[in-house]
Amino acid sequence: MSRSVHRIAAAGAGLALLAGLTVLTAPAQAAAAPGSQRQRDFAAAAGEFGVPLDVLLGVSYLESRWDDHAGTPSTAAGYGPMHLTDLRTAGATGEFGPSDDPRGDDARPGFRPMAPPPTTASPSLQTADAAAALLRTDATTVRTDPKQNIRGGAALLAQYQRQLGVRSEAAKDWYGAVARYSGSEDVAAARSFADEVYGTISSGVMRTTDDGQNVALAAAKDVKPDRTQADRLGLRADAPPAAECPESVACESVPAPYQQLPVGSYGNHDVADRPTSQKIDYIVIHDTETTWDQALKLVQDPTYLAWHYTVRSQDGLIAQHVPTKDVGWHAGNWYVNSKSIGIEHEGFAAQGTWFTEAMYRSSAKLVRYLAGRYRIPLDRAHIIGHDNVPGTTPATIAGMHWDPGPYWDWQHYFELLGAPPHRTGSTSSPLVTIAPDYQRNPQTFTGCDQIGSGNPCPAMNSEAVVLHTAPSDSAPLVSDPGLHGTGPSTMDVSDVGSRAATGQQYAVADRSGEWTAIWYLGQKAWFHNPGTAPAAVPASGMIATPKPGKATIPVYGRAYPEASAYPANIPPQALAPMPYTFAAGQRYAVNGFQPSEYLWATTFDPAQHVVVRGKTTYVQVQFGHRIEYVNLDDVQLLPAY
């Protein structure tokens, strides 16, 4: 596998925590500990295996934030507070298969990538076995029992310390063992993980876990780790690459091939000159649906497809594949592809129910860097999931993807970005921001074992708010005509037809007691919004409604120019209205304004590519779970505050 290695921070550069942590003093830790079984389990395991308690707590925080997740796996098949991995419990299918068209450009034949072959587990993805052997128990026990999971993680750290040949009870002398725990194959990524752990130790943190456990790590600002220990781990070390990444993360270059193929085709992305040619407006968050190793093999296949970055689960390592100036084939909508950067995250949206803290932090640093570089707003209208990308035509809606799924913690992610969802409007504002407390928003979806099975997933916390046709939990879910015709949506984990996501903004349609209705896909959609545990907060901004005299207006999945804007040698691209009704009296949140553009890029030679620009301006609206576009000439804009 072709790799160069990583850009890393100078010594100590990774020790500053991102936003959202509570700094503790020693008395605060003592106050939080009584009555907390998990805190006692950490202390007992640290004492049993001779691991400094703050090291054990710091490692666990960066893996799971001390959550047990009810014994369910992470998206990378990790279990429990210590994220002990067992890939045998997850499948690897790849995000895109032969039924998908990730390019989404009608001017070219549909791009149908082959599904990837099965992959085998590396030792770094089977730490549950190693931990079980050290405890003389079985992998099932360390996966499902949080106390034994913590003991297993402590036993692994102690073993790594013995292998390093260092005998010390001081936290500063455990840097090498912490770096080894990352599972990284190269020293830069291992150091990046260890630096984040020691940053947590330095700043301190306390929180209540997903199962109500109070855990605290006191700030220890005087801990200065011996970073040279990482050089003794025998990991790969090369010169830093020229990658577009912030210097506070480990980032390697794994280039995707831009290569001409037989029969006049080429792969696996398009060379461009953004932002000179087109402004970059979106960052799209994906998950790989396969392992890191398999994802990197796929992105280096000229017959497959390419995205810009991949983030590894276990340690937050980032690989860049395509320069940000170029266009990746990743979102299934050519308009969005041509104006976005795609970031894949190692994991499985259905089979796993949570993402590691290491991944969240590394990804957030990358997104914050890219957003600053390209002036992309840090909001949910521009930092979007693959599940928020609209279909291009009515026929493609059902095949659009739903990753990263309802277990991606948008609340925490935007806290790390420094832009958490919060109240910006008055109590009477006709606009709301969806903002449930992730830690207190359990949802029972179905189909995590197999999409469409109807079998309940574990009752896990979620970023999603479920929408009903009436103000009652027993009322049917709202329908998505593009997905289900006239039938109702379902609670299948892949079904986004009746979900509003954290950070998205919607226009208020009605209120009844503890329930709020929003305009959603041409209908009133109700969600429980009690004052004691609000699922949304008042927002300010603009809302769009049809101009007077217009009974309905069309809604589009892309902001293409009018036919008269195309040169004679470029066929006009069809503007296919979506099968939704935007009727008089309905209102939708305005996400911004988009110029009408189409990137004509059907040849291998980028010199022949043309950006067609029209006179039409579009308004991006939050129309359902996905964004959509309406013609500015069709709508009246109203303030909301």
The band of 122, judged by pLDDT with boundaries at 50, 70 and 90, is low
Q: State which amino acid sits at residue 394.
A: P
Can you spell out the DSSP letters for 519-561?
EETTEEEEEE--TTS-SEEE--EEEEEEPTT-SEE--BSS-PP
The lowest-confidence range among 74-78, 538-542, 570-574, 626-630 is 74-78
Query: Would you kindly state where each structural domain of the chain is located, as residue ranges?
Result: 13-86+126-232, 241-419, 546-640
The band of 339, judged by pLDDT with boundaries at 50, 70 and 90, is very high
Indicate the fold that domain 241-419 takes in CATH: Lysozyme-like (3.40.80)
Task: Return the H-helix or E-strand segment holding 175.
Answer: helix 175-181
Please give the biggest Cα pair distance in the chain.
80
Residues 6+ apart with CB under 8 A from 349: 75, 287, 289, 402, 403, 404, 405, 407, 408, 493
CATH class of 13-86+126-232: mainly alpha
Asked if residue 361 lies in contact with residue 65, where contact means CB atoms within 8 angstroms, the answer is no
Whether residue 106 has pLDDT greater than 60:
yes
Compute the half-sphere exposure of residue 577: CA atoms within 13 Å on the CB side of its CA.
10
pLDDT of residue 117: 55
Residues 6+ apart with CB under 8 A from 431: 425, 505, 506, 507, 508, 538, 539, 540, 541, 543, 589, 640
Confirm whether 13-86+126-232 and 241-419 share one CATH topology: no
In terms of Cα–Cα distance, which of 490, 486, 507, 396 is closest to 443? 490
Per-residue burial over 178-213, b if 16 or more Cβ lie within 10 Å, else e, is bbbbbbbebbbbbbbbbbbbbbbbbbbbbbebbeeb
Helix (H, G, I), strand (E, B) or coil at 144: helix
Mean pLDDT, rounded, for 554-581: 96
Reading the block at residue 418, the tokens are 């420094």
Q: What are phi and psi of 88, to 5 degrees?
A: -65, -20
Q: What is the pLDDT of residues 255-314, one digit of tens each?
A: 999 999 887 789 899 999 999 999 999 999 999 988 888 899 999 999 899 999 999 999
Q: How many residues does the chain have?
A: 641
Mean pLDDT, rounded, for 60-82: 92
* Block residue for tokens 């700094």: 23
Q: What is the pLDDT of residues 490-534, one digit of tens each?
A: 999 999 999 999 999 999 999 999 999 999 999 999 999 999 999
